Structure 1
């Protein structure tokens, strides 16, 4: 054995995963990245190397090498794209180039399987094949280093030896900057439609009108059909890379937004009948792929017919689009049945949850025994994440190492993030025998279903890195609400200041939303109207010290600010129609924790102990988040 360490990374991660038009594209990018990283790990172990961080998932590698069979192979990615074979565990004859060759061979084999199945029989002409080969060979950036230094891989990546191919012609609808496959010179070229119309007709559920894809995006969209029979013998003939049966069915963003509304339907049959009639006259609407049935609240419902409901037909922006739904009589029937439901209309918002461990690199270098303990903790953590996401009615995209990526209904995202944090802390406590070894930060983006998915994913990473970690000090939660008009609000808080231990770990902001909604309903409102919150920015400008004078004491102290806002809350009409009027003291009890959640907090470490510094100013976005959660994103006045 040699003293050298093998470091490996595969990218571009964001360029492959985050560029997505559908939730299925999002999942596919994450899954394939994990599969290719698994191939790299297997190439290390085939040479006698031992990967100590992160420890490979043996079950996943068994499926990858064909040691497992059946219909229940891994569906989510669980292998990080970056790893290292720990010191003294790489044999003297180790060949780093073989690892890179394995990854490229795996990608080429999958690409060829998709080409032979979907394109060769119908588009064998030279130009498309040339585009295909150029893009397949030129996409992945693989970096590796062999040596004893921990910074070797970063130094290697800084050399930037990877040069993506030059792309001309019409660009891909999904992957920015890459040429679509027809080879058309400009958007109006007849060649574009001649190429893509037959593909859309053959696979109507996979390709939308006016959608044209590059080779990388085409593989993301269609690889599931070819994956089950994929067999790729490696160059040394010692092992064969395998695929396995996968289900391409995914919940859409509309499924996620509608899930709990559908769950509460008391009699779904009339609505189902009306939607079926609408779908029959609306070819552009397409057919339901039963993605609702993947979400626990619908999957375990006593009425199994709910899983077949076409969630797209539940939202006003779809029904009002005459290009999608031309039969206005059928639309009117659906809208009337939605209106008759006692729980109002569906919320048009869903959530993306992104979580990432804090300062693991520092912990990794703390002592020689840290890597196996961290691997033990991360394996225990990732093993329990799928069930936690499912319990919160979500769909897991990825859980590998210290990273989590999931899609959830609006109601469940914050609770899911808190539960995953508890599991993360428990896993590290178990491995290290003490608290506080590692923490995890989270970003929750509540996005309107009309916003392109790629934009939401990009914003989620910025929210996690810039707000939860950098600005708030890590071990924090950051939340953003994105509406079609733009960002509506953003709010962040260290976990210790966001959770009330007396409420079974529930977030204070969630409990406040419930409490304020209860007061509105007691006043005779069918839904939360939040009249008090519409003027909250104006009120905070009156209470706050000047922005350009941060050291100036506020005009009102905390108690005075509470009293002022409590009076304003009572004056907003909350007592109109109430049998038991809300008193000033009761209003103050509501306002006190609300104001606390509106004061930004920065977490800082002093001698490895967290200290929390509160701002003198009140940020209205905390109160606006309470209103958003209470309204469930449905605006009412």
Structure 2
């Protein structure tokens, strides 16, 4: 059978993934992008094509979990514990039959995106759209014109880059007030705040009530694309075939991530004081049961020895920083009323200082964002057999989740030669070194010289108050 080589790319990555306020937005953007790429890959497999890079076909001995789940859903199976780690890259190469039309991949992506968007609209926006001005038109314009999809046919691995350099995609104008997260897109109410503040506030108040306040913060005014990311976990069962709500709820705040190692020391050093602190902190709105300590091995081990401190380890990450306790705006309820008396916050600050004194240190307000990317991938593909390179990358990416977990990190994305993870300050450099060793070992096993298969990384140290989008720019 005559075959041709297809190069496919889905973007914009930076605009979709990096523009986030919550760590959960970060994860949702990565997951949706990976999921949509998987739908394009599945279209190729269903039409007797096969992947050159990455090698993740479902019939192999070590299939990619996300791609396998997509196939199971397509076959009508129900999935209880579906994959939550985005593992499929937004760019791939595949051998396809000579008569294959790449527009089938484009249609698969767009259809799946519309299904996700439709679930968010139907469940949350449709009931409040009348509070806005032309909200439906804004929604359709942004949903239908967001993705940039490029493909080419040919053997040269540089062809796709040439195609993307055409910059032929022209976006429609975005008038009006802009989204709080994605500043190039209009917010959904359609009102101008300087002239119609009350109407704009009424729209967002109605939507906030519809989705329950903690999903949409006071003052946030989002575009269609940003809102889809924010509410994706609530509609995933309907939109993709399995639930991801537990993963979304388990995603730690940046404040909690920064404090993880300190929390472990507090639990081991003074568990009773930690329990008492949690009991008093329970009077703060939005303080209890906000974080999942079981996501981190050090906290699991500490709580196994000192279970009385579990409530302490589940507190909102802001509860562990004096500056946050001193800020009354963080503890207001969604109606804007004062949540607690100043006296309680003063008492909690004193108790927090006592914990700091007993452990001998305060929690660091910094965490790290780790980005890693294989070097000179195009040259590597030209020098060596593509299947060997792809096999090595598949081996590498399959080992990344466990390495990140061992270093108390939170994996945002792992696919091909790319890694994105959030890590506590103390374990960031050890994790980067470990991942480099795994990368070199994966290529050594594939008989590719280590000096030709290298990986670069960047560590961005950020204060927990820094918006996630700023750390990734």
**Structure 2 length normalisation: TM-score?**
0.88
1:366: which partner in 2? 383
Instruction: Tell me by how many angstroms 1:298 deviates.
Output: 1.4
Which range moves more in the overlay, 411-420 or 115-124? Answer: 115-124
1:421: which partner in 2? 436
1:252 aligns with 2:253: yes
1:445: which partner in 2? 460
1:246, 1:40 → 2: CA distance? 24
Instruction: Tell me by how many angstroms 1:434 deviates.
Output: 4.4
2:130, 2:379 → 1: CA distance? 53
Query: Which of 160, 165, 171 in structure 2 is aligned with 1:158?
Result: 165
1:310 aligns with 2:316: yes
Instruction: Tell me by how many angstroms 1:299 deviates.
Output: 2.9
Query: Which of 365, 390, 393 in structure 2 is aligned with 1:348?
Result: 365
1:489: which partner in 2? none
1:132 aligns with 2:139: yes
Which range moves more in the overlay, 322-331 or 136-145? Answer: 322-331
Instruction: Tell me if structure 1 keeps the 8 A contact 2:290–2:315.
Output: no
Query: Which of 55, 71, 82 in structure 1 is aligned with 2:80?
Result: 71
2:14, 2:448 → 1: CA distance? 35
Query: Which of 349, 352, 374 in structure 2 is aligned with 1:335?
Result: 349
Q: For the structure 1 residues 114 and 287, does the alpha-carbon distance in structure 2 shift closer, same or farther, using more than 3 Å as the test?
A: farther
Mapping 1:506-521, distance limit 5 Å: none
1:435, 1:454 → 2: CA distance? 34
The C-alpha deviation readout for 1:432-458, integer Å capped at 9, x for no partner, is: 164333011111111111222111111
Mapping 1:254-403, distance limit 5 Å: 254-265=255-266, 266-278=269-281, 280=283, 282-283=284-285, 285=286, 287-301=288-302, 302=304, 303-304=306-307, 305=310, 306-325=312-331, 327-341=341-355, 342-343=358-359, 344-367=361-384, 370-403=385-418
Query: Which of 191, 210, 213 in structure 1 is aligned with 2:222?
Result: 213
Residue 221 of structure 1: SS of its match in structure 2?
helix
Instruction: Tell me if structure 2 keeps the 8 A contact 1:275–1:334.
Output: no
The C-alpha deviation readout for 1:172-211, integer Å capped at 9, x for no partner, is: 1111111111111235521211011122234222111101
1:228, 1:100 → 2: CA distance? 23
1:167: which partner in 2? 174
1:360, 1:158 → 2: CA distance? 19
- Provide the aligned C-alpha RMSD in A: 2.0
**Structure 1 or 2: more helix by fraction:** 2
Looking at CA atoms only, which structure, 1 or 2, has the larger radius of gyration?
1
1:449, 1:417 → 2: CA distance? 20
Instruction: Tell me by how many angstroms 1:291 deviates.
Output: 3.5
1:287, 1:278 → 2: CA distance? 8
Q: For the structure 1 residues 26 and 105, does the alpha-carbon distance in structure 2 shift closer, same or farther, using more than 3 Å as the test?
A: same
Instruction: Tell me by how many angstroms 1:62 deviates.
Output: 2.1
1:197: which partner in 2? 205
Residue 90 of structure 1: SS of its match in structure 2?
strand
What stretches of structure 2 of length at least 5 have no aligned partner?
Answer: 59-64, 332-339
1:295, 1:170 → 2: CA distance? 40
Q: For the structure 1 residues 269 and 332, does the alpha-carbon distance in structure 2 shift closer, same or farther, using more than 3 Å as the test?
A: farther
Instruction: Tell me if structure 2 keeps the 8 A contact 1:49–1:90.
Output: yes
Instruction: Tell me by how many angstroms 1:114 deviates.
Output: 1.1
2:39: which partner in 1? 39
Q: Higher relative contact order by CA 8 Å / sep ≥ 6: 1 or 2? A: 2
**Structure 1 length normalisation: TM-score?**
0.66
